[in-house]
Structure 1
Amino acid sequence: MRCLRCGNTQQKYFYQDGSVWYCRKCIAFGRMNVGELPRAKKYRQQRHACDYVLKYPLTPKQQKASAEIVWHAKHQQSQLVYAVCGAGKTELVMEVIKQFLNAGKKVGFAISRRQVVLEIATRMKEAFPMIEVIAVCEGYSDICDGDLIVCTMHQLYRYYQTFDLLIMDEVDAFPYRGNEVLQAIAQHACRGVMVYLTATPDESMLKDVEDGKLALVELFERPHGYPLIEPEIRTCANRMQLFYLIAFLYQQRKAGIQTLVFVPTIRMANELHKKLCLLFRCKAFTSQSEDKEKIVDDFHKKKYECLITTTILERGITIKGIYIIILQADHVVFNEASLTQIIGRVGRSIEMPSGKGIFLCERVTRDIERCKHAIQHMNKESFS
């Protein structure tokens, strides 16, 4: 038996209902009987005469990467775009989006997290003011069709064999990474070519490049031309890290610089907030927080000196001039990819390309070492 939606062939995930067998591995997306194909809905497909507007022109290296993406897509080659945090991955794919829309093709842009979906949709609306950009995610699923569809990866189950061009952002992140069901649903949503965007590709994606299954486009330089910020690694006992953090935040207050404070668990974020709120204007931000959009908006408006957060904010947020500090950076939740993404929040702005990122830990883990070496390698490649 084989599920034609998620590709499952494991007997333990099938259940018999009378004379019919169905798949339980992807049951969260609705029941799928064995031998049954997902229903392909008809979404509008029309030729556009659209163009996009950028706040800043692309740099020569960005233009080169964008042209390579277009070339591979036009030659029906799926590809991996390996670009550092802050390289402007969203801007790199705007030309290929434009060309596919102008050719009457259907385009989708899928991201792991709801909050980033809303941010990307807003940016796409500003860049493409002449087309209808639709965000499809939790709380935004009444309208599922538009000229450009920006959705969470879970929502791709709605779009079986729909997209001629499907851009997959944050493919290294939870919940997509290692999730066979989501990966199969994404493959089935695309009838054309896929563009995978990431700053931290895993070994399987690099193997696909090596085997010729994916073309490779690389960009290791940010638009402002400054090197990536390398983390400062400080070893000290966990019980001493709070004192270091408080001293650090006082320094940032004097300099007028906001800080993202990363911790490994929701419980620790809430407990740390109770202590820090007595000294600083701060807020805890986790997956359990209410009014997430408002908290981030208030942080942008500098209502808070620091935001205490989990890995929920490791990617997809750009705030000019912030510093970051990680408590218990040696915790198992902080792998190489998440550490790279977190330090990638620093120095993204053209107006403020410098900054500081500190990893506090009791011991230097393999992931911390690999993160630092990866950033050093990218800087070396960019400036060689």
Structure 2
Amino acid sequence: MGQEQLNDSEYYKEERGNIDIVTLRKIKELLADPCSESNYSPLSDYERRSQGTKITSAPLCDQQLEENWYRAGFTDIPTEPPSMFSCGTTYPIWINAPTGEIGSASTSFSHIQWLNTRPRAGRFKRKPNLMFKCEFTPVHDSEMYYSINWYVDQKPVIVDQTVSPNDPPLGYMSSEELKGFSAQRARVSNDDDDYVKCFIGTSRYLDDILTIDNPVFEKYKNVIYPQELIRNKANVSNTETPFLDLNIKIVNGEIHTSVYDKRDDFGFNIVNFPWLDGDVPRLPSYGIYISQLIRYARACTDVLDFHSRNLQITKKLLGQGFRFHKLVKTFWKFYKNYCQLLLKFGPIQATEYITFGISQPAFYGDIINKIRRIKDKQHHYRKCVRIIKRLLYRGYDPNVTRRTLGLVLDQSTVLYKRILKTCTLTDCDDGTP
């Protein structure tokens, strides 16, 4: 099958008096020598195109190749039907004839005109037309006929092509009809691509399916999943739904996510996270707090949701033997090493995260230990003030701090009152009646 090219550079005019010589030259056809390196293009993956190569998870597909001469290595096209799934593709091609011989073609004049006027040069372009033939055994019966259906990739191209049973009973399909079928299938393929794009936001994990902005899910769900698999819509609202450990909500056209825990839907206490009054090592236990902070920071879109989850877990950990000051120290470590996860919340300092995100205990055990060690020593007043101010800067609650001081120091002493005044704790409520 050859291909001719024609453009304005192939037209030559020579003016001689009042006579124009218009010569249309026929350029060299690709049939001249298809094996010449200038006339064919090599196919990729030629080592996978041999008859002994079986199809893999990624079959070869040459559907998008342009019309041209091609060569797959130095192998010849098979002259016998290959076995199923051979040649690296689902539909291997073979030729029901001996391989052709290399021929040659010469360049020649195809049209010469002698005119006494100067008209526009005529243009001629010839396209090769490939015909597919279907031949039957003649049946000399005027009441019978052959009906031919042409298929490509199991898709009908020509349906009910009637052929006389008399000699010769031949049916044809031209390359133009095949070209029209390819164009139609391309349009259908584009429509299918639009449907496929609707499923880009669809995910499935075990028995949970999430789909966002998919108008064709109801139409194709019975095609994708078998009838034996019952599909129930779990969410009541179309703008909010839980999926795995995420609660997804659409607010003003934007997707907001937060942490979802199915156990929060029940009213009983859940036993999780270690208890430090047992044999559990203390140092690795605080690493669990960091892992949960990373999870909350990744899942939450709003900083208020992050604070809420942080308050919930720190309240539980404080009730299971964790120390407030060590939780604060652990949060500083998280803030330093994973600050990029918090950038979406805006320029918020670590002290603000601690103030609004870490639950406060009934009293601070570290303050009690520090004050007890220095209250009977020299310069204990200045040391107490320095300790209290440093801890207040780190996010300690003033009310809980005053309550803790009242447990260590006599509230009627001058030392206690001076510390409250210096640390601006006089207006705080220690919670005592």
TM-score using structure 2 length = 0.16
Structure scoring higher RCO (CA < 8 A, sep ≥ 6) equals 1
TM-score, normalising length from structure 1?
A: 0.18
The structure with the largest alpha-carbon Rg is 2
